[in-house]
């Protein structure tokens, strides 16, 4: 019974996410001159979504790590993101973490929670970036509040599997 | 550093925090995109409606509730099963009208509005208006036309959040012309 409750609440999050994704497009359509610039439109929408995710990620990581001890190093932080953070936010762990030990990490999730409802293969592949922008922002926001400035991008070759690339910015 | 014993409750709390924060980001973005609160309220209601027409199917699939016999039963199911399932709270059902077609849902705490404060220039914003759309859309899919309004809102200074629901009519299923 408890499992059903958790699932339902996550379902609500997933559904809300779908609407969050559609929102920037709906309002942007109202501005006439931007209608002509389709490509710029898309980029703006994606950056708006990413910015929303950033703020959400910051808030989430604050709540999650309130009582935890501080992290040993960058790799420790990334492992935490892949295990605990991913579990709390996307309800599973990252399947594969690779790094070049010089600030670049690739997180592979073979069954990404926010893509499972979209398709199971290559259908709608061109729509995927919209649906990943928010999550990239969430990861970037989380890392930001853990002290790591980063650039997070995502790529999908076949849904629902996707790879997040995190490049830590050295200041 | 394992937290095995708290795993399930943590998951539930985290899900609701993720939801709260995402909803907050959404409302903030809407406020930036639209000039006035009325527009934002309308958009939230519209989005809620679209969510509701789909959510009802998810709800019926997960719970094993059959058809409700009357509006009172509907109210109870909404408060005790649906709200509990999706938001983790159980509002109370009160203030029935004499005709039995209107009631209030009283929410002591509103999970959508955790950590939220409305700034002064957004006095007419109904922050949780998504909920009214969801309720309206979901009930429309089970052949009930209802009117949903926020009467009290903790974000605007009231003690509780009160949602007033009024039954308007039963929607008849219309067969497409030519089919009998």
Kindly report the average pLDDT of chain A as a whole number: 84
Please determine, for residue B66, whether its predicted confidence score (pLDDT) is greater than 80: yes
Residue B175 lies in a domain: no
The answer to whether the CB atoms of A5 and B33 lie below 8 A apart is no
Please count the structural domains in chain B.
1
Mean pLDDT, to the nearest integer, of A11-34? 60
Please determine, for residue A55, whether its predicted confidence score (pLDDT) is greater than 70: yes
The answer to whether the CB atoms of B22 and A20 lie below 8 A apart is yes
- What is the Cα–Cα distance from A79 to A90, expressed in whole angstroms? 15
Please determine, for residue A32, whether its predicted confidence score (pLDDT) is greater than 50: no
Please determine, for residue B8, whether its predicted confidence score (pLDDT) is greater than 50: no
CATH code at position B61: 3.30.1380.20
Residue B178 lies in a domain: no
The answer to whether the CB atoms of A9 and B19 lie below 8 A apart is yes
Residue B179 lies in a domain: no
User: At how many degrees (to 10) do helices A2-28 and B37-62 cross?
Assistant: 150
Structure confidence at residue B2 (pLDDT): 41
Structure confidence at residue B180 (pLDDT): 52
- What is the Cα–Cα distance from B138 to B65, expressed in whole angstroms? 14
Structure confidence at residue A127 (pLDDT): 84
Please determine, for residue B4, whether its predicted confidence score (pLDDT) is greater than 90: no
Consecutive H or E run containing A108? strand A104-109
Residue B180 lies in a domain: no
Has the ipTM of the complex gone over 0.85? no
With an 8 Å Cβ cutoff, is B88 touching chain A?
A: yes
Residue B49 lies in a domain: yes
The answer to whether the CB atoms of A52 and B29 lie below 8 A apart is yes
**How many residues are recorded in chain B?**
180
Structure confidence at residue B44 (pLDDT): 92
Structure confidence at residue A69 (pLDDT): 87
Structure tokens that stand for A114 in this block: 């926010």
Structure confidence at residue A25 (pLDDT): 53
Structure confidence at residue A34 (pLDDT): 45
Residue B176 lies in a domain: no
The answer to whether the CB atoms of B19 and A68 lie below 8 A apart is no
Structure confidence at residue B123 (pLDDT): 87
Structure confidence at residue B133 (pLDDT): 95
Query: What are the backbone angles phi and psi of residue B49, rounded to the nearest 5°?
Result: -60, -50
Distance from CA of A110 to the nearest CA of B (A): 20
The strand pairing partners of B106, in sequence order, are B92, B162
Q: Which of A7, A19, A23 sits opposite B51 (nearest CB)?
A: A19
Structure confidence at residue A110 (pLDDT): 93
Please determine, for residue A157, whether its predicted confidence score (pLDDT) is greater than 50: yes
Kindly report the average pLDDT of chain B as a whole number: 87
Structure confidence at residue B6 (pLDDT): 43
**pLDDT tens-digit readout, A94-128:** 999 999 999 999 999 999 988 888 888 888 888 88
Structure confidence at residue B139 (pLDDT): 95
Please list every residue in chain A whose beta carbon sits closer than 8 Å to the beta carbon of residue B29.
23-24, 48, 52
Residue B177 lies in a domain: no
Pairing status of strand A104-109 against strand A161-168: antiparallel
Q: Is the peptide bond before A80 cis (omega within 30 degrees of 0)?
A: no
Structure confidence at residue B10 (pLDDT): 60
Please list every residue in chain B whose beta carbon sits closer than 8 Å to the beta carbon of residue A53.
25
| Burial class of B11 by CB neighbour count within 10 A (0 to 12, 13 to 18, 19+) | buried
Span of A147-151, B11-15, B176-180 with lowest mean pLDDT? B176-180
**With contact defined as beta carbons under 8 Å apart, do B137 and B47 qualify?**
no
**pLDDT tens-digit readout, B134-162:** 999 999 999 999 999 999 999 988 999 99
DSSP H stretches of helix in A29-96 = 32-36, 38-64, 74-80, 86-90
Please list every residue in chain B whose beta carbon sits closer than 8 Å to the beta carbon of residue A55.
21, 25, 28
The model's pTM is 0.84
Q: Which of B2, B6, B12, B21 to mutate to test the interface with A (most CBs of A within 10 A)?
A: B21
Please list every residue in chain A whose beta carbon sits closer than 8 Å to the beta carbon of residue B87.
9, 12
The answer to whether the CB atoms of A12 and B21 lie below 8 A apart is no
Span of A37-46, A72-81, B53-62 with lowest mean pLDDT? A37-46
With an 8 Å Cβ cutoff, is B46 touching chain A?
A: no
Distance from CA of B97 to the nearest CA of A (A): 31
Structure confidence at residue A22 (pLDDT): 67
Please determine, for residue B107, whether its predicted confidence score (pLDDT) is greater than 90: yes
The answer to whether the CB atoms of A16 and B34 lie below 8 A apart is no
Report DSSP letters for B89-152, one per residue.
Answer: --PEEE---TTSSEEEEEESS-GGGTT----GGGTT--TTHHHHHHHHHHHHTTTEEEEEEEEE
Q: Which of B21, B47, B62 sits opposite A60 (nearest CB)?
A: B21
What separation in angstroms does the CA of A64 have from each of A58, A113, B100, B158? 10, 19, 45, 30
Expressed as residue numbers, the domain containing B112 is 2-170
Residue B61 lies in a domain: yes
């Amino acid at each position: 019974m408890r499992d059903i409750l958790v699932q339902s609440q996550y379902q609500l999050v997933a559904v809300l996410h779908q609407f969050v994704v559609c929102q920037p497009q709906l309002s942007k359509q109202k501005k006439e001159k931007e209608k002509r610039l389709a490509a710029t439109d898309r980029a703006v929408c994606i950056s708006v979504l990413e910015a929303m995710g950033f703020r959400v990620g910051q808030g989430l990581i604050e709540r999650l790590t309130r009582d935890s001890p501080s992290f040993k190093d960058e790799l420790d932080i990334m492992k935490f993101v892949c295990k605990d953070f991913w579990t709390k936010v996307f309800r599973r762990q990252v399947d594969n973490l690779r790094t070049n030990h010089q600030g670049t990490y690739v997180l592979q999730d073979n069954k990404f929670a926010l893509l499972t409802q979209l398709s199971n293969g290559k259908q709608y592949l061109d729509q995927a970036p919209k649906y990943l922008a928010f999550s990239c922002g969430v990861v970037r926001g989380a890392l930001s509040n853990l002290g790591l400035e980063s650039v997070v991008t995502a790529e999908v070759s076949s849904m629902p599997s996707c790879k997040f690339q995190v490049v830590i910015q050295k200041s | 550093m394992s937290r095995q014993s708290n795993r399930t409750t943590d998951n539930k709390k985290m899900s609701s925090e993720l939801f709260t924060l995402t909803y907050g980001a959404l409302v903030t973005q809407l406020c930036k995109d639209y000039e006035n609160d009325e527009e934002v309220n309308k958009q939230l209601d519209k989005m809620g409606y679209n969510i509701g027409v789909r959510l009802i199917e998810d709800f019926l699939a997960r719970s094993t509730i059959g058809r409700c016999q009357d509006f009172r039963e509907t109210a109870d199911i909404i408060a005790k099963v649906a709200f509990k399932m999706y938001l983790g709270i159980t509002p109370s059902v009160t203030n029935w009208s004499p005709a039995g077609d209107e009631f209030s849902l009283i929410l002591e705490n509103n999970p959508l509005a955790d950590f939220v404060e409305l700034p002064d220039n957004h006095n007419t914003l109904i922050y949780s208006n998504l909920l009214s759309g969801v309720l309206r859309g979901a009930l429309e899919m089970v052949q009930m036309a209802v009117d949903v309004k926020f009467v009290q809102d903790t974000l605007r200074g009231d003690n509780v959040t009160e949602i007033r629901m009024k039954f308007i009519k039963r929607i008849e299923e219309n067969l497409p012309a030519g089919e009998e």
